[in-house]
Amino acid sequence: MSYRQLFSSLDCESIIIIEDDFKQEEYKKERVLYDIVRMALSDRSSYMDEIKSISADLFDCLSSFCALFDQCIDQIGRWEEVIPRWDIRCAFPLVKAFDVKLEEKACSLYDLIDDEVMLSVYEIGAKYGIGVTHPSCYDDLFDEYILFENRAKSIRIYTDFLAETQRLFLLNIDCATDEKSVVCIVDNHLAGTNRAQEIINLIKEKSNSKRKNIIGSVFSSKELFEEISDKLYFEYTSKSTPDRLKACLAKSAYNYFISVLKEKTIDGLNKAFETAIKNKGIAFFLSRKAQKEGMSEYEIINDWVKLLSITAPEDSDTIKRLIGLSRVINSLDEDDLPDDSLQRLNTLEAFDYSINDYYLPVAAGDVFTNDQGEWFILIGQDCDMARRPNTPPRNALAELLSANIRRQTSCKKWANDLETASIYSFRKNQEAESEILQVNYQQRKFIANEIINLCAFNADGQCRISLIDSPSKEQVQLMPDYMITYYTELQKYFSSVKVLKEQVNDAFETVISNEYAPRLLSVGDYTIDADVAIFNLRRVCRLTHSYVYYLYKLFLEYRGRQPFQTINLIRQEEVTLPVVFNRTESGVFMSIRCVPVPDKPNRRDYCWIISLDELNRVLGELEDNVTVCEGMKEDLIIDSESMEWPLSNRKKLTLKKAKEKVELSVT
């Protein structure tokens, strides 16, 4: 992202540079008038007001001269390309091409401007950049933004921080509004003294009641100083690495963006809670609904408040500004992004580790483990497994999918996507390293609801129950009444199991054996410790809604796969295969559809169907601005081992089928 894109995202009102390396050159009329003509209109207006107080005649002459060029400033071309910098006289021939009379008038006005009078107001123009040459470390800032367009951007340059400069500086930063930002670049070392602290303190004082839209950085070659807080963000960067200035300004803008987002989010939450408190009838209705659906009151009320808080705000302009501000993230250096923090954010997006803390009932997506290091995910629909006040779950057994834990490294995409699904950023606990949870649809396990529901009664998620103790005070406070009643029923159930196991063990073991009742754990697979029945299964976390829905969709696709008895029926198989381009692995993958042939096990012998858009997408990643010339066909049917197509660049594309890859070549 260039400075122009960055400051456009910020809607920058003005740039203030406090730096003593800027020097005003010796007076030259052609240079001064060049700068005045290109000035930002707001800056010129301020400068002209100062000139008017000194010489009304000069004010009138300059006003006429500037008004003349304002008529054609954009019509004569891009100034940086057609007019040498700092000499307004080179623009006269271009004005002549636009209008002969304007050129004559420009020359006449130029001659009328008195050098002696102009020299008397020259110095006060330094703060506007009149006749000022910038240090080389600011080249990108001036080339990409301040002087990029014919009309320069608003700028203030101060080479000291004396009392008068402080007064002007405070007036400048007052221009910052919610809609417009002011950018401050501060040199810590001014006239032999460190002044950054003093300057930043002034900005902080101005932001006491509400944070001002001031973006900045300490840009210095001397000792490090910076201010990073929730009130202000001025990061230090050295003049020896000027390319870092842009990133520092982007991070300052990002910090401001987060503060505004925080303010709006808190405001939204406050309004949501006000609505929730006032609408107690809705809260009562939702609580009753939660019981009927087998959810906790906490879950459904929390979801309601979240929904209220994200309801579209009345101030849509605020959202538009936030969207614009969020674009500055593109200017952040990737090296500055903490990988661990990003991974933890990914973990929280996919997994909820708080469910055991609140004694929440089991639900689809719950992740379990045992002492052997095996992992399982509860699958199904919540409405089928939910326990309601007067209704047991519809499913007599709970269904689990086996899962494996793999190290999180760059892994290749598998050709068959209908048997496994890999979920990244999984952690065995919140302090563990990030890994991959790979779910296998082929390995289903079943378990009694009575066993798996025990995890909801324990803060560590362990499936266990005391056969004699009543629920704890915390459980009674947090769990619905019907779950407390269910706890008592489970105590009776497992006490009866214990009696059967002790008195008729042989007969009991026959009934629950894998031959007659294959289960991950049977009701008799517990150990007793001080009248507590403990099963070797523990709930760790829960997949969030979006991941659960997608996982269940893939599971149903696998369950609906073609049985052997219908092998002769035609169907399509969707696969994703790696692309080998010009005999080199490209790292790109292509989605294709195959029509299997019963007597040919090799995918190379199948009929392939490839979307034209998909083929062009892959080509776009391999070669720029190249497409297949097949505008009349939506899908490409490949019924031979290879096929060729003409390309838009007059070359030829050859696709060759293989069992585990797609071979492409351009000749």
pLDDT tens digits for range 394-446 = 788 999 999 999 886 544 443 344 567 888 889 999 888 888 888 887 788 99
Per-residue confidence band for 318, with pLDDT thresholds at 50, 70 and 90: low
Tell me which of 528, 543, 558 is where a domain ends: 543
- Provide the pLDDT for residue 415: 35
Within a domain: 552: no
| C-beta atoms surrounding 25 within 10 Å | 12
- Provide the pLDDT for residue 538: 98
On the question of pLDDT at 566 being above 50, the answer is: no
| C-beta atoms surrounding 618 within 10 Å | 20
Q: Are residues 652 and 504 in the same domain?
A: no
On the question of pLDDT at 453 being above 80, the answer is: yes
Within a domain: 241: no
Helix (H, G, I), strand (E, B) or coil at 261: helix
- Provide the pLDDT for residue 274: 80
Work out the average pLDDT over 126-140. 94
Q: What helix, strand, coil percent values describe the chain, rounded to 5?
A: 45, 25, 30
| Each residue's pLDDT tens digit, 343-357 | 677 787 889 999 999
Work out the average pLDDT over 248-260. 86
- Whole-angstrom distance, CA of residue 519 vs CA of residue 318: 56
Indicate the pairing of strand 214-220 with strand 227-228.
unpaired
Q: Which two tokens stand for residue 521?
A: 């754990």
| Each residue's pLDDT tens digit, 603-646 | 888 888 898 888 888 988 888 778 887 565 678 888 889 999 88
- Provide the pLDDT for residue 381: 81
Range of the domain at 477: 348-543
On the question of pLDDT at 554 being above 90, the answer is: no
Per-residue confidence band for 488, with pLDDT thresholds at 50, 70 and 90: very high
Work out the average pLDDT over 474-492. 91
CA 112 to mean position of chain CA atoms: 58
Q: Which two tokens stand for residue 185?
A: 């670049």
Within a domain: 379: yes
Q: What is the mean pLDDT of the chain?
A: 85
Q: Are residues 536 and 590 in the same domain?
A: no
- Provide the pLDDT for residue 53: 93
Work out the average pLDDT over 122-148. 93
Domain count for the chain: 3
- Whole-angstrom distance, CA of residue 554 vs CA of residue 420: 9
Work out the average pLDDT over 492-496. 96
Q: Are residues 614 and 466 in the same domain?
A: no
Helix (H, G, I), strand (E, B) or coil at 27: coil
Q: Which two tokens stand for residue 438?
A: 């790979």
Q: Are residues 33 and 95 in the same domain?
A: yes
- Provide the pLDDT for residue 163: 92
- Provide the pLDDT for residue 424: 81
CA distances in angstroms from 248 to 182, 227, 336, listed in the order given: 15, 12, 11
On the question of pLDDT at 515 being above 90, the answer is: no
- Provide the pLDDT for residue 504: 94
- Provide the pLDDT for residue 580: 93
Q: Are residues 379 and 517 in the same domain?
A: yes
Q: Are residues 660 and 584 in the same domain?
A: yes
Work out the average pLDDT over 129-137. 94
On the question of pLDDT at 659 being above 60, the answer is: yes
Q: What is the DSSP string of 373-439?
A: --EEEEES-HHHH--BTTB--SSSEEEEEEEEEEE-S--PPPSBTTSEEEEEEE-SSTTSPPEEEEE
Lowest mean pLDDT among 48-57, 302-311, 443-452: 302-311
- Provide the pLDDT for residue 375: 97
Lowest mean pLDDT among 51-55, 181-185, 213-217, 626-630: 626-630
On the question of pLDDT at 14 being above 70, the answer is: yes
Q: Are residues 521 and 589 in the same domain?
A: no
- Provide the pLDDT for residue 337: 47
- Provide the pLDDT for residue 324: 64
Within a domain: 560: no
Work out the average pLDDT over 448-474. 95
Per-residue confidence band for 292, with pLDDT thresholds at 50, 70 and 90: low
Within a domain: 511: yes
- Whole-angstrom distance, CA of residue 317 vs CA of residue 429: 42
Work out the average pLDDT over 172-194. 89
Looking at residue 144, the DSSP 8-state letter turns out to be I
Within a domain: 251: no
On the question of pLDDT at 340 being above 90, the answer is: no
- 7 in Cβ contact with 325 (< 8 Å): no
| Each residue's pLDDT tens digit, 47-91 | 999 999 999 999 999 999 999 998 888 888 888 888 888 899 998
| C-beta atoms surrounding 441 within 10 Å | 20
Per-residue confidence band for 41, with pLDDT thresholds at 50, 70 and 90: very high
Q: What is the DSSP string of 287-337?
A: HHHHHHHT--HHHHHHHHHHHHHTSPPS-HHHHHHHHHHHGGGGGS-GGGS
Tell me which of 88, 110, 133 is where a domain ends: 133
Q: Are residues 425 and 469 in the same domain?
A: yes
Within a domain: 86: yes
- Provide the pLDDT for residue 343: 67
Work out the average pLDDT over 564-580. 68
- Provide the pLDDT for residue 416: 41
Choice between 418 and 593, residue whose per-residue pLDDT is larger: 593
Dump strand ranges (E) for 480-547.
526-528, 532-543
Work out the average pLDDT over 314-326. 61
Q: Are residues 519 and 634 in the same domain?
A: no
Q: Are residues 463 and 582 in the same domain?
A: no
Within a domain: 658: yes
Choice between 525 and 263, residue whose per-residue pLDDT is larger: 525
On the question of pLDDT at 117 being above 90, the answer is: yes
Choice between 453 and 632, residue whose per-residue pLDDT is larger: 453
Tell me which of 117, 133, 149 is where a domain ends: 133
- 182 in Cβ contact with 214 (< 8 Å): yes
Q: Are residues 531 and 461 in the same domain?
A: yes
Work out the average pLDDT over 275-284. 75
- Whole-angstrom distance, CA of residue 454 vs CA of residue 493: 12
- Provide the pLDDT for residue 328: 65
Q: Are residues 590 and 497 in the same domain?
A: no
Q: What is the DSSP string of 79-120?
A: HHHHS-TT-GGGGHHHHHHH-HHHHHHHHHHHHHS-HHHHHH
